[in-house]
Amino acid sequence: MCGIVGYVGPDPCAEILLDGLRRLEYRGYDSAGMALIEGTESKILRSQGKLTNLARLLSEHRPTGTTGIGHTRWATHGRPTEINAHPHKYGKVSVVHNGIIENHAMLRAELESNGHKFSSETDTEIVAHLVDDEVKAGRSPKDAVLGALRRVEGAYAICVLVDGAPDQIIAARHDAPLILGIGSGENFVASDVPAILNRTRDMVFLEEKELAVVRADGVEVMDLDGKPVDRKPQRILWDAMMAEKGGHKHFMLKEIHEQPRAVTDTIRDRISAKTAETFIDGFEIEIEKLRRVVFVACGTSYHAALVGKFLVEGLARVPVEVDLGSEFRYRDPLVSDSDLLVTISQSGETADTLAALREAKRKGARVLSICNVVGSTIARESDGVLYTHAGPEIGVASTKAFTTQLAALVLLAIYLGRRTGALDQESAHELIKDLLALPEQMKEVLDRGASVDVIARRYATARDFLYLGRGINYPIALEGALKLKEISYIHAEGYPAGEMKHGPIALIDENLPVVIIAPRGSGYEKIINNLTEVRAREGKVIAIASRGDNEIGSMVDDVIQVPDVRPELQPLLTVLPLQMLAYRVADIRGTDVDQPRNLAKSVTVE
Ligand code: F6R
């Protein structure tokens, strides 16, 4: 989704901004631009498409300004054209914006009736017009932005430059993340930490409805009434190197291989092998009061939530409901203070999940979040956070965030199971022992990627794929299908295998590869029946099976084996070949694996 970088300091900043925007490329975008102060006025450079186009413009114009704002845009209002790219300049005011101005149509009509002429189709341009009116009325840049924002409804992270005030950027946020980077004699603004992490580790996370005046020698933070707020910088400890490809062709491939380490980091320090208990970072759940757990998430994180239902109901015998953020927030959900709402989000900024969290809190539920990005909005607004510690996930298609979410859910289910009494100490001991052994088994699966390669080559030209799973592996079928479609653009559907005969069986013919997740465990015989039904209709079957299952090979076209583990832990292994299959198919087809078309890493609009 859109990215913002800003700089005020002693150095010419075009390259600094471009470098920051490159580090945000992973969020997805379709045009880019910057505004740089030259003398006392800002000059705008913008281009459609990738940052290389903007880089070309910079090398032609050679701007020297030392105050500037840059932006990568992911189109929401208005097509992905140069004219709709940010910054938008009107009069003396240049603006970049992430989010959506909801009352833009009304404001635009009003401004047009007062003689304003618009040059783009965007909601963002409204802000430039409103601020410029305030500047013309004699207000300082800060007061002009405060005045304009009083009229704006919706979500925004904005940065504003005003001609005649070359030494400052005005930055503000509401429902979209924005951080300030504190340097020495220079300061930064960004929508996400990796953009400026190579420049400073000291960051101020702006809170909801806050504004900052950013100058080279300091930053002033205030609320939207102009009342000063004291915000101390936080030191970011993770390394910028963690956000580099480290010799892999794509971030996604690097992140797939990081999973054993990432899962170790999720579970480490949260387990007592002695008492067979797990800890969720100081968050205590009042078990006597707890009637229900409600998981809310989107996309891949929603698939983790579906696995979470099996885990929590199975190990703790607490009823669980799972919902999508976009559905939950609009259906006046029945939640109360006896519910625990658990949001799951890699980015911690997903608008629908955040809105669901706020709705549940309003209705009295306590909120625990399973989240990867430290200091993100969801993390900050939750009563407790179980950080997954996966490290920065740059590839748009989520991989290590997913398996670490699964590991965190196992921890949560053990925590609850020990407290409800449904999980006795001995069983918990066994489960924890198996969980601790899992990263090594994940590594084994990843090290045997060659078999996936052969399969990927065979089916890379297929038009459709079907993924089938049962029980705890049904969400893995959904996840396998999602991974394939988002990066290879092949149509893929995930289905609970038992539902096949109620519809999808009509799709099966000799051209349809069907991936069947069939590890040993309860439901194994049933899924073998489904497999035979596919074969009887000449579908091509790729099975994900347990090591040691020597029978399945004769019934299918291809088998990928994974270590034989207890059902609760199977998803952490069965998903790995599916991630690799999606990756290899996409790479063979030559798609943009890390930044697939139309997708954004962090979906901060609904
Ligand atoms: C798919 C993917 C998305 C995200 C979804 C939620 O690979 O990455 O489906 O899972 O947009 O994002 P988070 O987890 O950041 O809330």
Which of 447, 414, 408 has the alpha carbon at shortest distance from 429? 414
Please name the residues in contact with 580: beta carbons below 8 A apart, sequence gap of 6 or more: 256, 446, 449, 452
Give yes or no for residue 486 CB within 6 A of ligand 1: yes
Query: What is the pLDDT, as a whole number, of residue 398?
Result: 97
Residue-level pLDDT at 208:
87
pLDDT tens-place string over residues 460-480: 999 999 999 999 999 999 999
- Rounded-to-integer distance, Cα 269 and Cα 266, Å: 8
* Tens digits of residue pLDDT in 79-127: 888 999 999 999 999 999 998 888 999 999 999 999 999 999 999 999 9
Contacts of residue 230, defined as CB under 8 A and 6 or more positions apart, other chains included, come to: 221
Amino acid at 491: H
Q: Determine the atom of ligand 1 nearest the C-alpha atom of 396.
A: 8
Q: How far does CA 200 lie from the centroid of its chain?
A: 23
Distance CA 531, CA 423 (A): 34
Q: What is the pLDDT of residue 506?
A: 92
Give me 313's structure tokens. Answer: 């109901």
Distance between alpha carbon 554 and the CA centroid of its chain, in Å?
40
Helix axes 51-61, 14-23, angle to 10 degrees: 180
With cut-offs at 50, 70 and 90, classify the pLDDT of residue 223: very high
- List residues with catalytic annotation: 2, 601
Q: Return all residues near 417 (Cβ < 8 A) that are at least 6 apart.
A: 315, 316, 317, 423, 428
Nearest CA to ligand 1 atom 9: 299
Average pLDDT score over residue span 514-536? 93
How many angstroms separate the CA atoms of 316 and 251, rounded? 37
Q: Is the CB of 350 under 6 A from ligand 1?
A: yes
Ligand 1, residue 603: give the atom nearest the CA: 11
Residue 374 banded pLDDT, cuts 50, 70, 90:
confident
Establish whether residue 398 lines the binding site of ligand 1, counting it when its CB lies within 6 angstroms of any ligand atom: yes
Average pLDDT score over residue span 39-64: 93
CA angle, 569 then 571 then 576, to 5°: 120
Q: Which two tokens stand for residue 93?
A: 């005011």
Share of the chain above pLDDT 70, in %: 98
Give the model confidence (pLDDT) of 423-458 as tens digits: 999 999 999 999 999 999 999 999 988 889 999 999
Give the model's pLDDT for residue 240.
Answer: 59
At 239, the pLDDT band (50, 70, 90 cuts) reads: low
Which residues fall within 8 angstroms of residue 223, CB to CB, at 6 or more apart? 209, 210, 211, 229
* Ligand 1 atom closest to residue 405's alpha carbon, by position in its atom list: 14
**Is 377 close to ligand 1, i.e. is its CB under 6 Å away?**
no
Distance CA 302, CA 318 (A): 19
Instruction: Tell how far the Cα of 46 is from the centroid of ligand 1, in angstroms.
Output: 29
Ligand 1 center–CA 585 separation, angstroms: 21
Query: How far is ligand 1, taken at its centre, from the CA of residue 293, in Å?
Result: 21
Q: What is the share, in percent, of the chain residues with pLDDT greater than 90? A: 81
Q: Are 8 and 216 in contact (CB under 8 A)?
A: yes
| Residue 383 main-chain phi, psi, to 5 deg | -75, -30
- Per-residue model confidence (pLDDT) at position 187: 98
Per-residue confidence band for 241, with pLDDT thresholds at 50, 70 and 90: low
Q: Is residue 76 pLDDT above 90, yes or no?
A: no
Cα 298 to ligand 1 centre (Å): 6
Q: Which atom of ligand 1 is nearest to the CA of 299?
A: 9
Mind listing the pLDDT tens digit for each residue in 378-432?
999 999 999 998 988 989 999 999 999 999 999 999 999 999 999 999 999 999 9
Mean pLDDT, range 307-326, rounded to an integer: 97
**What kind and span of H or E run contains 254?**
helix 251-257
- Ligand 1 center to 600 CA (angstroms): 9
* pLDDT at residue 246 tops 70: no
